[in-house]
């Protein structure tokens, strides 16, 4: 449950507790689990009513432990369940009111579909999401999705489904659109991501070809670790190029 503000003040109240955190500190706390998160993302979640940090008299955001915990819940539900922000906000607000609510299920999970877990030594099956689920998660229509596909930002699998990460890509494209960045502008970003993915693939390819199942499983973990590092490096390079400093 979100912590009550000092003196009963609500959103926009001045922060007086020296234990509160700046947005830069919050970013560092979240980066370990969510390497793709940025200060802009945190600010966007605030603008969408997902978190309500206090404010100092000079206007700086100050986050409590409860705010950081709530941000973690939001990011986790986006990543693991592919839920739109409106659904996440309503779910968390209901929990804070003490209501017994179930987590909506938009993402497709192996357990729900009755698919068997991979046997030891087998490669895991990537999580997938249906086309209708992707449209619902991103809050877009068929025409927009076809446009994004034409620019290579999203691509369906042979059976028409999408890898689960497509929901995250779609939500980020929507967020960037709020700043006037159109999908056609993102082709260079996609090309850069493909090159970075190719670099990671070169590193882990020998592990994936190994005859030992445990070594092949290690390739998956190594891929995730390298992906997180490349994402953080990419973000740092963009910030450096723009002369952006984190608070």
Question: What is the reported pLDDT for 30?
Answer: 92
Distance between CA atoms of residues 74 and 107, nearest Å? 15
Q: What is the pTM assigned to this prediction?
A: 0.50
Please tell me the predicted confidence (pLDDT) of residue 104.
65
pLDDT at residue 70 in the model = 92
Q: Which helix (H) or strand (E) holds 131?
A: helix 131-138
39, 24 Cβ separation under 8 angstroms: yes
Q: Which of 53, 55, 56, 50 is nearest to 64 (CA)?
A: 53
Question: In 3D, which of 127, 75, 78, 81 has the Cα closest to residue 104?
Answer: 81
Could you tell me the residue ranges of all domains in the chain? 6-96, 129-181, 183-247
pLDDT in tens, 148-166: 999 999 999 888 889 888 8
The alpha carbon torsion through 42, 43, 47, 52 (nearest 10 deg) reads: 70
Contact status, residue 65 vs residue 3, Cβ threshold 8 Å: yes
Residue 53's pLDDT is 93
3-state secondary structure of 142: helix
CA 154 to chain centroid, in Å, comes to 16
Cβ-based burial of 118 (10 A; exposed 0-12, middle 13-18, buried ≥19): exposed
**Cα gap 209→195, rounded to integer Å:** 21
Matching residue, tokens 């986050």: 63
Give the percent of the chain with pLDDT over 90: 15
Residues 6 or more apart from 237 whose CB is under 8 A from it?
Answer: none
Q: Which fold has domain 6-96?
A: Multidrug-efflux Transporter Regulator; Chain: A; Domain 2 (1.10.1660)
pLDDT score recorded for residue 62: 93
Which pLDDT score is estimated for 80? Answer: 78
Tokens 């999908």: give the residue: 183
Show the low-confidence residues of the chain (pLDDT under 70): 1-18, 104-126, 245-247
């Amino acid at each position: 449950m979100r912590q009550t503000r000092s003196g009963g003040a609500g959103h926009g109240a001045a922060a007086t507790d020296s234990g509160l955190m700046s947005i830069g500190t919050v970013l560092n706390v979240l980066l370990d689990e969510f390497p793709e998160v940025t200060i802009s993302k945190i600010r966007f979640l605030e603008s969408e009513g997902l978190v309500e940090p206090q404010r100092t008299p000079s206007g700086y955001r100050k986050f409590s432990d409860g705010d950081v915990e709530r941000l973690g819940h939001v990011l986790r539900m986006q990543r693991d369940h592919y839920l739109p922000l409106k659904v996440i906000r309503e779910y968390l607000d209901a929990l804070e009111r003490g209501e017994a609510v179930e987590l909506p299920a938009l993402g497709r999970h192996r357990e729900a579909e009755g698919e068997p877990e991979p046997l030891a030594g087998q490669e895991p099956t990537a999580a997938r999401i249906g086309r209708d689920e992707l449209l619902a998660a991103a809050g877009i229509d068929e025409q927009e999705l076809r446009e994004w596909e034409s620019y290579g930002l999203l691509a369906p699998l042979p059976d028409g489904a999408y890898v689960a990460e497509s929901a995250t890509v779609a939500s980020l494209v929507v967020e960037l659109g709020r700043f006037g960045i159109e999908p056609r502008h993102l082709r260079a970003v996609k090309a850069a991501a493909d090159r970075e993915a190719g670099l990671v693939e070169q590193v882990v390819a020998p592990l994936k070809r190994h005859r030992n199942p445990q070594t092949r499983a290690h390739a998956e973990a190594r891929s995730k670790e390298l992906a997180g590092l490349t994402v953080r490096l990419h973000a740092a390079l963009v910030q450096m190029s723009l002369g952006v400093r984190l608070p």
